[in-house]
Structure 1
Amino acid sequence: MSALNDTPVDTLSFEAARDELVKVVSELEQGAPTLEQSLALWERGEALAARCEEWLLGAKRRLEAARAAADASDEDES
């Protein structure tokens, strides 16, 4: 069984990308039957990890923006 999914990585939610990445890593640890399958899994895993990183960076930017807005609001009240 292969953890590879045909869904384009750039359309996955953070949770979907993370869950698929866990499956890919597990399958790589067990050893894919062929080198070609191992390479395909590794490439998919790299893309999934990058997608998760994009989501995390986006979340970080949103938190920073919310904190900056809250700080600006606090300064306006002073």
Structure 2
Amino acid sequence: MNDTPVDQMTFEQAMAELEKVLGQLERGDVALDESIALYERGAKLKARCEAKLKEAEEKVAQITLDGEGTPVGTTPVEGL
């Protein structure tokens, strides 16, 4: 597992580790205690990916277009 705290990972980092965690769980070649720890880490990684996607969707929704449909700027999203 990666030593980076989940809440500091980029979307790409979290997704890559989540794929590794899922691979280990699917193979079933880990002890029960380790499986539980992997499952918990996977749940945190999934939540991080979902949060980063929501953040990106909100940013995209705030893009301002001019009359011709060209992006001219963004409106800040509160809390980001």
Structure-to-structure mapping, 1:6-21, within 5 angstroms: 6-21=3-18
* Partner in structure 1 of residue 28 of structure 2: 31
Deviation at 1:33, TM superposition (A): 2.6
* Partner in structure 2 of residue 42 of structure 1: 39
Q: Name the structure, 1 or 2, with higher relative contact order (CA <8 Å, separation 6+).
A: 1
TM-score in terms of structure 1 length: 0.80
Unaligned segments of structure 1, at least 5 residues: none
Deviation at 1:42, TM superposition (A): 0.3
1:18 counterpart letter in structure 2: M
Matched positions, count = 67
Supply the distance in 2 between the matched residues of 1:33 and 1:23 (Cα, whole angstroms).
13
Unaligned segments of structure 2, at least 5 residues: 68-80
Q: Percent identity?
A: 45
- Structure with the higher fraction of residues in strand conformation: 2
- Structure with the higher fraction of residues in helix conformation: 1
